[in-house]
Amino acid sequence: MPPYQESHGRTMASLTRTDENLSASLLNVTALEKSLSAAGEKFIFMQKLRDFVSVICDFLQHKAPFIEELEERMQKLHEERAAAITERRTADNEDEMIEIEAGVNAAISVFGKGGGSAVVIEMATNAAKAASAATKEQRNLLVKLDEFGRDINLQNRMDMTRRAEARRHRKAQSDAKRLSSRETDGPHHKVEGESSTDESDSETAAYQSNRDLLLQTAEQVFSDAAEEYSQLSVVIQRFERWKKNYSSSYRDAYMSLSVPAIFSPYVRLELLKWDPLHEDIDFINMNWHLLLYNYGIEDENNISPDDADADLVPQLVEKVAVPILHHEIAHCWDMLSTRETRNAVSATDLVVRYVPASSQALVELVAVLHDRLADAIANLVVPTWSPLVLKAVPNAARVAAYRFGMAVRLMRNICLWNKIIALPVLEKLALDDLLSGKVLPHLRSVQSNVYDAVTRIERVVTSLMGVWAGPSVAGQCSPKLQPLVDYLLTLAKTLEKKHGSYLGDSETGGLARRLKKMLVELNEYDKARALSRTFNLKEAL
């Protein structure tokens, strides 16, 4: 090869390498420019973010006292509503029971001298009326003037008169409802006291007016701030952009530990509207839940197990919602209200779906729930007056029936907690303390009137449905139900002695069938078959 060709080849190879090096250098320069541009954008973004975080932290710290005051005022409003019902119920009970007990004591004193003849009953009735009238006269507060000539007992007399009128009105409503249910439900109508009509229309209207005013004030808490601070949706977008674009710095700043504290004031303001005892509402229908449920998640079908923000909503429920519910149950819940109890059960079940069972807040919630139910049972008084006393003392039978109805209502409400309170604890409350301690002694006192006793025990068995009675309950009957079963068998023996085992009259057959049905509902099939043989009942179990 000629020398000039060899030189030309080396020159061309050198040019090619130079061209390649130049292209690589240009690529490196372009990459460096992009890197510098990205670094510049990140620097600007982080500087703005730093200013934003600094401002929003100061902003929320400034607003915190206002939010706390609103929460306290809402709690106070709920407590006052609950206290008004409790105080009126207590005053009503005292108004009635003081006079009734005076009459009962007088009647027992007469019966204690012996006999149950018509003459003795009449004497006991007269004594009871006289004792009740004397007690009522003593409670009629006399005019008592202060140094300015004002009657200091006037308000108390007006309160007593108003309560008496309200009791008459509620009794008329209750009687109308019971007559209506008797027509539709037959022998299974509710007994007096099972339905609650404690909250008056005026109290409801006053509470609603104050609540609306408080919520209007809450809407103004963030109104003096720019949208980027006052609107939760805008604040979320800012942090989501950080997490998406610069995830490593988001992670290095441990923002997953900080965002619950930043978002919680917005959640607390919205949860001022949450009234867990008087409405059944799911968090998924609330704005804060809709905004935060998928926080920082680009693909909800492919959520990383390492994403620390995945527990954001459960954390907020535990830190914000559970304390609200705890306060409501501890200070505002009326254990005798079935409506409030159903809503409380629903709200508790709602938070349980988010919060682990090991949560201290949840443990404390269940503990206060148990204490409130135990107190309600302890404070409940169900009379055990004899049939003679009930016959002799005016209104005694009605008051005893009403108190029994309250016990049935409380038992039904306790059973609503069967999926939240452990069964052994529920058995202790419902079967040991309430059924055996309060209800059965009353039922034994009225068992001589078989029809009345059967009607009342039916309400007890109905209240146990789904937990210890009914087709959904399989297996051996709880040993703690044995006193109830024994009482049913005692009623069967009483019915047999009084009316015989033949179904000559339809009432005897009807009562026997009702007793058999209750034994079947309690899974006592052998005893139900024996009762069928005794009364010649042909129907299959």
Domain carrying residue 525:
380-534
* 491, part of any domain: yes
* 210, part of any domain: no
Q: Residue 132 has what pLDDT?
A: 79
Distances (CA, A) of 295 to 21, 73, 81, 260: 47, 31, 37, 11
Closest CA to 341 of 273, 421, 270, 269: 421
CA 338, 342, 343, 345 dihedral sign is: positive
Report how far residue 182's alpha carbon sits from residue 189's, in angstroms, rounded to the nearest whole number: 5
**Region of 346 on the Ramachandran plot (φ > 0 left; ψ -120 to 50 alpha; else beta):** alpha
Segment-wise mean pLDDT, segments of 10 residues, the chain, 541 residues: 64 69 64 59 82 92 96 96 86 80 88 78 86 72 59 63 62 59 51 60 80 95 92 94 88 90 96 95 94 82 75 95 97 95 97 94 96 96 92 90 94 96 95 96 93 94 93 79 95 83 65 93 92 83 63
Q: Residue 253 has what pLDDT?
A: 87
| H/E stretch holding 159 | helix 154-185
* 68, part of any domain: no
Under 8 Å between Cβ of 398 and 342: no
* 520, part of any domain: yes
- CA–centroid distance for 437 within its chain: 25
- The DSSP call for residue 320 is I
Report how far residue 406's alpha carbon sits from residue 174's, in angstroms, rounded to the nearest whole number: 13
Q: Residue 30 has what pLDDT?
A: 65
* 218, part of any domain: no
* 503, part of any domain: yes
* 385, part of any domain: yes
* 498, part of any domain: yes
* Structural domains counted in the chain: 1
